[in-house]
Amino acid sequence: MNARIRILAVGLFGLFAVGSRLAAQEPGAEKGLAKQLSAAAKRAVQAKQLLRYQFQPGESLQWQVTHLVTVETTIKGNTQTAKTSSKSTKVWTVKDVDEAGNVTFVYSVSRINMWRKVSGSDEMRYDSEVDENPPLEYAHVASTVGVPLASVTVSPSGRVIQRDDIPQPTNTGLGQIIRPLPEEPVEVGDSWRTTDEIHVRNQNGEVSRIKTRLVYTLKSYKAGVATISVKTEVLTPVEDPRIKSQLVQQVTNGEIKFDNDAGRILSQQIDWDDTVLGFNGPDSSMKHLARFTEELIPAGATAQKPSEGVR
């Protein structure tokens, strides 16, 4: 036992001992103080938490996913507004869990409803439960409903070990496959990070690589549920408004609820809210406002039909 652990152990023993003596001597205020000291000691023991995913072979998990986006662009005094929304049911079917806790699951989407409206044009809709012939713009998305999209193997901390996409993946607004958890136990206030690289085009049409990172911070831990904030940080200095306009969909700020007892995400809400000036001339502007939400559907419950309240 090292010195730090010995000090902690002695301190905790002292707290329990003091609390016990006070409780035995006085049934009034001192007894209340004793309970507080005992509770403080227990919190000290449980301060650090090891966050881990847990799944069982054969189980199927579903999340209700909603993605709402409004983009308003102004160029030379002309303003155009584009609004899109999608509501879908994301499904993980667990195939295997090995002795180390690594899980292999098949990722799919069982239903989806998409809507789009651009000022000056007719709105466009697609509901996979109703429409047999989707609009051309939604044809590829329609082909992904109800079929395996990927087979993924991840570690208990959410590290992707292997991913096989079937077929070529498409962006349906469903977010990341899985959120990473810290490798070591953490306490409230601790952070962990992942890095990424975003490819954008500069004014010459050349591809530029922008380095970013996602910063996760444990905000609270109550009754086995961890509340985690997530925020994107852009590491590469960016001054060109054209590049900034391509980054607005990547810079996020949100919150995740993780059920550590059950070992799965309960919910997450990710927001985008940014305005870029001069992205297409000195008198141009772009405002990007979006929200992504995900809610775990309890086992045995039925997901809300996508046609209900998609807008």
Domains detected in the chain: 3-45 (no CATH), 60-297 (2.30.230)
Confidence at 16, pLDDT banded by 50, 70, 90: very low
Digit-coded pLDDT (tens) for 128-171: 999 988 999 899 999 999 999 999 999 999 999 999 876 554 44
Confidence (pLDDT) at 309? 39
DSSP lists the bridge partners of residue 96 as 104
The SS3 call for residue 255 is strand
> 206 is written with which tokens?
């050349």
Residue type, 307: S
Q: Report whether 54 contacts 262 (CB < 8 A).
A: yes
- Residue 113's nearest CA partner among 130, 101, 132, 99 is 130
Q: What is the per-residue pLDDT for 32?
A: 66
User: What are the structure tokens assigned to 141, written together?
Assistant: 């998305």
Place of tokens 């049934």: 27
**For the purposes of burial, counting CB atoms within 10 Å of the CB of 123, is it exposed (0-12), middle (13-18) or buried (19 or more)?**
exposed
* Structure token pair of residue 71: 């983009």
For the chain, state the CA radius of gyration: 25
**Taking Cα atoms as reference points, which of 51, 107, 16, 83 lies closest to residue 221?**
51
C-beta separation of 166 from 150 below 8 A = yes
State the pLDDT at residue 23.
Answer: 47
Mapped onto helix, strand or coil, the DSSP state of residue 186 is strand
Give the per-residue pLDDT at 36.
65
- CB–CB of 45/9 below 8 Å? no
User: How many whole angstroms from its chain centre is CA 168?
Assistant: 22
Which residues fall within 8 angstroms of residue 13, CB to CB, at 6 or more apart?
Answer: none
User: What angle (nearest 5°) sits at the alpha carbon of residue 8, between those of residues 6 and 12?
Assistant: 115
| pLDDT surpasses 90 at 302 | no
User: Taking Cα atoms as reference points, which of 105, 55, 80, 108 lies closest to residue 263?
Assistant: 55
Q: What is the pLDDT of residue 277?
A: 95
Amino acid, res. 184:
E
Give pLDDT tens digits for 39-54. 555 554 458 999 999 9
Distances (CA, A) of 254 to 179, 181, 225, 247: 12, 16, 16, 17
CA–CA–CA angle 44, 48, 51 (5° rounding): 150
Record the tokens describing residue 240, joined without a space: 């060109």
